Amino acid sequence: MTDDRATRAAALLVEARKTGKGLGELPADCRPRDAAEAYAIQDAVARQVGAVQGWKTGAPGPEAEPAYAPIFTVSAGPGRFPAKTQRLFGIEAEIAFRLARDLPPRDKPYDRDEVVAAIATMHPAVADWRSLGLDLARPPITVTIDGTVAAETTGNSGGDPLRLLTALANHCAHRTGGLREGDMITTGSITGVTFAKPGATVTADFGPLGAVRLEFPL
């Protein structure tokens, strides 16, 4: 993809982000034709939006190649997001990890043990996650909206989230300058997407990991 095509696509996406009007699809003349072009657009967006605070990764199957995307805003729970500032109210409960140290670019790929050793905490709860003994692909999660159960654990479509995290570490080492200490990394929905409405209160209960509470006041 030429820089011009990526820049035009990024400008449309950034404008949609600023205005909140959304964008159904990119025009054909700047729409990505493969993953490399999609990541070129992603890089162009990042240059305009600001510092990357974390990453999202996930995959459609346990053996499938993961996809990766930067996160520009990370908020500690409980979270309050005025309904008028949101377009969609899609809720996905995920396991997230915060890194204790950088994983910079290098010639040799990172292996799973090295990536695990770089993890500081697993979220939503700040815990010594290695001692919890959870099935990370199917942890106990219940999402309630205004007190009514809306979703429960279905399992991570990408399988083991540590596989996804290791793949992300190598992707970023190769393409974006590496992961950094303090990065928060989410690893794919475990409950599917649940949609709330303006004014709703949402709680995702992760059992021994704790709970996350979100409010969308009118």
One domain for residues 160 and 207: yes
Q: Counting beta carbons within 10 angstroms of the beta carbon of residue 49, is it exposed (0 to 12), middle (13 to 18) or buried (19 or more)?
A: middle
Residue 24's pLDDT band, with cuts at 50, 70 and 90, is confident
Task: Give the residue numbers spanning the domain of 29.
Answer: 1-50
How many Å apart are CA 101 and CA 115, to the nearest integer? 10
- Quote the number of domains for the chain: 2
pTM of the model: 0.88
Q: Average pLDDT, whole number, for the chain?
A: 90
What is the pLDDT averaged over residues 10-23? 89
Specify the CATH number for the domain of residue 169. 3.90.850.10
List pLDDT tens digits, range 116-154: 999 999 886 334 444 456 788 888 899 999 999 999 998
Q: For residue 122, which phi and psi values (nearest 5 degrees)?
A: -110, 145
Final residue in a domain of this structure, among 17, 35, 50: 50
One domain for residues 93 and 164: yes
One domain for residues 30 and 134: no
**What is the reported pLDDT for 2?**
66
How far is CA 179 from each of CA 27, 107, 140, rounded to the nearest angstrom?
32, 15, 28
Write out the DSSP string of the chain.
--HHHHHHHHHHHHHHHHH----S---GGG--SSHHHHHHHHHHHHHHH----EEEEE-SSTTSPPEEEEE----PSSEE--GGG-S--EE--EEEEEESS-B---SSPPPHHHHHHTEEEEETTTB-GGGS---TTS---EEEETTEEEEE----TT--HHHHHHHHHHHHHHHTS-B-TT-EEEEEESS--EE--TT-EEEEE-GGG-EEEEE---
**Quick check: 9 pLDDT over 50?**
yes
CA-based nearest residue to 77, from 123, 37, 24: 123
List pLDDT tens digits, range 209-218: 888 898 999 9
Residue 173's pLDDT band, with cuts at 50, 70 and 90, is very high
What is the pLDDT averaged over residues 145-169? 94
**Quick check: 73 pLDDT over 90?**
no
One domain for residues 87 and 141: yes
Pick the residue with more confidence: 50 or 67?
67
One domain for residues 44 and 67: no
How long is the chain?
218
One domain for residues 97 and 162: yes
List pLDDT tens digits, range 33-63: 999 999 999 999 999 998 999 999 999 999 9
One domain for residues 123 and 20: no
One domain for residues 132 and 78: yes
How many Å apart are CA 128 and CA 39, to the nearest integer? 34
One domain for residues 180 and 205: yes
Percent of the chain residues topping a pLDDT of 70: 94
